[in-house]
Chains A and B, each alone.
Chain A
Amino acid sequence: AQKVTQAQTEISVVEKEDVTLDCVYETRDTTYYLFWYKQPPSGELVFLIRRNSFDEQNEISGRYSWNFQKSTSSFNFTITASQVVDSAVYFCALTSNSGYSTLTFGKGTMLLVSP
């Protein structure tokens, strides 16, 4: 069975602080994909990144960066210089062929960025 754990239920930071959201996953598959989604207060799911299991390169996109480490089964997400607009619930998710492309989500981390 697949599992995604986001141990941080809620994080509060002040604007301009850096913040890291943790994600630990479990899967028996050697080929899998990891995702991060953002859910702002309006409720829609916004796709942020997809990473396949064979690509351990870290990625940076503007203020966002992701650290994928297979050795620790982690796919952490860092926001640099956080802004109020970053306030949202962030979900880490996992899919694989043996999971029939269905997504297994973590429970989410609510990020509150105050001015």
Chain B
Amino acid sequence: DADVTQTPRNRITKTGKRIMLECSQTKGHDRMYWYRQDPGLGLRLIYYSFDVKDINKGEISDGYSVSRQAQAKFSLSLESAIPNQTALYFCATSDPGTGKDEAFFGQGTRLTVV
């Protein structure tokens, strides 16, 4: 089983619908992140969380919200999806205690908003 699991892997939704992307991890890391990838733009940070009581906005948080339900779970919501939120979404975790700052990524969720 993957250490960082994203569900669903693929999703097509209609404009205006609310959708939630879920991420769970078995690595025991406190830090979790959501990134968005668009062709030609690389990955950009949406939100990050350092523990269950800590939520921070990233570079492109508008139109998104998150929930850290537990150390192992970090969900990303699109309250009212729009077509330009069509992208590949990645969840990641990291453990600064290792001193390596390595991020572990999920397999990605491909979201299409029609």
Interface of A with B (CB < 8 Å)?
A: 4, 6, 9, 33, 35, 43-45, 47, 50, 91, 93, 95, 100-103, 105-108
Contacts and interface: CB of A to CB of B under 8 A. Distances in A.
B43 A105 contact: yes
B83 to A, nearest CB: 20
Contact of B105 (A45, A50, A106): A45
B58 interface: yes
Interface of B: 31, 33, 35, 40-45, 48, 50, 56, 58, 88, 90, 92, 94, 96, 100-103, 105, 107-108, 110
B40 A100 contact: no
A43 B45 CA distance: 18
A44 B107 contact: yes
A93 B96 CA distance: 16
Contacts, number: 55
Contact of B100 (A4, A43, A50, A102): A50
A12 B55 CA distance: 41
Contacts of A35: 102-103
B40 A33 contact: no
Name the prevailing secondary structure of the B interface residues. Answer: strand
Contacts of A102: 33, 45, 48, 58
Contact of B43 (A33, A91, A100, A101): A91
A9 B94 contact: no
Given A45-B105, A100-B50, A107 B40 contact: yes
Given A102-B48, A107-B40, A108-B42, A44 B105 contact: yes
Given A43-B107, A44-B108, A95-B101, A100 B42 contact: no
Given A35-B102, A44-B105, 14 more contacts: A33-B100, A33-B101, A43-B107, A43-B108, A45-B90, A45-B105, A50-B100, A95-B101, A100-B48, A100-B50, A101-B101, A105-B42, A105-B44, A107-B42
